[in-house]
Structure 1
Amino acid sequence: MSITEAFGEFRTGKTQLAHTLCVTVQLPPEMGGGNGKAAFIDTEGTFRPERIRAIAARFGIDPDTTLDNITVARAHNSEHQLDLLNELCIRLCEDKQYRLVVVDSIMALFRVDYSGRGELSERQQRLGQMLSKLVRISEEFNIAIYITNQMTADPGATLSFAADTKKPIGGHVLAHASATRLYLKKGRGETRVCKIWDSPDVPEAECTYQITTGGINDAQD
């Protein structure tokens, strides 16, 4: 019943986590799953059926059935992205088996459609409308929402010694809508690090993970 946002640089595992969640949500509750279906709104052409097949094989479930339980829609602009959410609401009313909605990524099309400070206010207003609809979907249908987000340079951070010079885009509108925010970054070698950036019920912490053919794995596995 809330939004979880994962932000980070390129190749930190945001989309791979989305693919893994689309599979694990179909697992029974005793295996940590939701025993339900997933909806995937793709804004950057990142959805890969072959990844779903590989991850399904890791968890010992049928790849074809797994793919059948994932509804995928490709958004081509920010208006289309909002239209897809409206269509999704109709589908959720008709089919109560959905437990997860993924938007990968939430800001990509907004950055294309609205450029420059002159359009920033309008962009944030439209973004706020979309996030408000996602929040309502999560609450009314008791569904987990997972969104990915990009990062941008933070000029103000350079004034502070050893500060992180990048920050997630979307501003306060996105920050307030996301109940839990995860910062994914590159670690040593092939490892990645996930940091809890903000959460209402989980303390700040970090974990190390790896991206494998079977999805996201704990680095200690």
Structure 2
Amino acid sequence: MAETKKIEEGEEKITIEDLPGVGEATAEKLRENGYDDIMTLAVASPKDLSEIGGIAEGAAVKIIAAARKYADVGNFETGEEILERRKSIKKLTTGSKNLDDLLGGGLETQSITEFFGEFGSGKTQIMLQLAVNSTLPEENGGFDSDVLIIDTENTFRPERIIQMSKYKGLDPDTVLKRIHVARAYNSHHQILLAEKAADLSKEFDIKLLLVDSLTSHFRSEYMGRGSLAERQQLLNRHMHDLLKFGTINNAVIAVTNQVSARPDIFFGDPMTPIGGNIVGHTATFRIYLRKSKGGKRIARLIDSPYLPEGETVIQLSEDGIMDGS
């Protein structure tokens, strides 16, 4: 096999078989697990690659090193180049102008937006509304795309999709056909579904991936301080799989999260989202939902790379999510 070198612009694009140490059998295993191009291999970890490909960790290190040379990983970019790349980012409407404005125009592609709050705060309703909205034409704030939902708590209700679709003037049957739902029965199944989402994206134009909820299985299966490190490690891997899907497919990733009360907080709101720093650092935008009077909910943006903190009022109704007065 030829010595690894950077491919000059205009030359033939290389495949993973061109990497030293990657034969047909190894390439097939890698592709089955989502490692189907040079960039995904370049940013892989040797341990994961070794387990998936059935190869020695030393060989995995050499494959990754070669992929990084081809992919030219690690170069710095100017701010101007990053600004140009960000022009490909799209925004998905929430159905509420107030909430869209709070998020700078809607939910961003290539990012994770987390909605957290107590039971009944409207998290699932927002997820269902986003699923409907993603099928809207782009001129109406949608993506005209299909949707993936990883449902961990059996909260998906097609009846709500029908109600929301009718209000938007959409054909409910068409919308339901564009929403692909998988029930996750435990945390490992949840992680596997996120990995397999890449396969479905080759068959359908997926521009929205929803996880409702992100942490419920991890919270129930890994209890106590003794299992905290393992839980956080798995959760970290899961969130980065989701983010990778969003980046590769220029898709919105939206997740819900639960809260718990911190007994050491005596003043202010004691509620804090599950998942600690792993979720906090990986989620790009974080929205805290609180109940208000009637069907109203208060949505507060508590974390964003470039938007100020703020809050707004939204309305939950039979027709879906809309502005609260």
What TM-score, normalized by structure 1, do the two folds share?
Answer: 0.95
Greater strand proportion: 1
Q: Does 1:148 align with 2:256?
A: yes
Structure 2 gaps of 5+ residues are 1-109
Largest Rg, 1 or 2: 2
- Measure how far apart 1:111 and its partner are: 1.1
Q: Secondary structure at the residue paired with 1:157?
A: coil
Q: Any idea what the Cα deviations from partners look like across 1:152-174, whole Å, max 9, x if unmatched?
A: 0112212xx3x211100100000
The list of structure 1 runs, each at least 4 consecutive aligned residues, that deviate by more than 6 angstroms after superposition, is: none
Equivalent residue runs for 1:198-217 within 5 Å? 198-217=303-322
Q: Secondary structure at the residue paired with 2:255?
A: strand
Quick one: higher RCO (CA 8 Å, sep 6+), 1 or 2?
A: 1
Q: Does 1:82 align with 2:191?
A: yes
2:241 alignment counterpart = 133
Q: Secondary structure at the residue paired with 2:265?
A: helix
2:217 alignment counterpart = 109
2:323 alignment counterpart = 218
Q: Any idea what the Cα deviations from partners look like across 1:172-204, whole Å, max 9, x if unmatched?
A: 000011000000001234311000011112211
Q: Does 1:59 align with 2:172?
A: no
Equivalent residue runs for 1:1-221 within 5 Å? 1-95=110-204, 97-158=205-266, 161=267, 163-220=268-325
Amino acid at match of 2:287: L
Amino acid at match of 2:215: M
Q: Let me know the Cα RMSD of the aligned residues.
A: 0.9
Alpha-carbon distance in structure 2 between the residues aligned to 1:73 and 1:8: 23
Structure 1 gaps of 5+ residues are none
Amino acid at match of 2:270: T
- Measure how far apart 1:113 and its partner are: 1.1
Alpha-carbon distance in structure 2 between the residues aligned to 1:91 and 1:26: 17
Q: Secondary structure at the residue paired with 1:118?
A: helix
How many residue pairs get matched? 216
Alpha-carbon distance in structure 2 between the residues aligned to 1:190 and 1:56: 19
2:40 alignment counterpart = none
Contact 2:295–2:317 (CA<8 Å) still a contact in 1? no
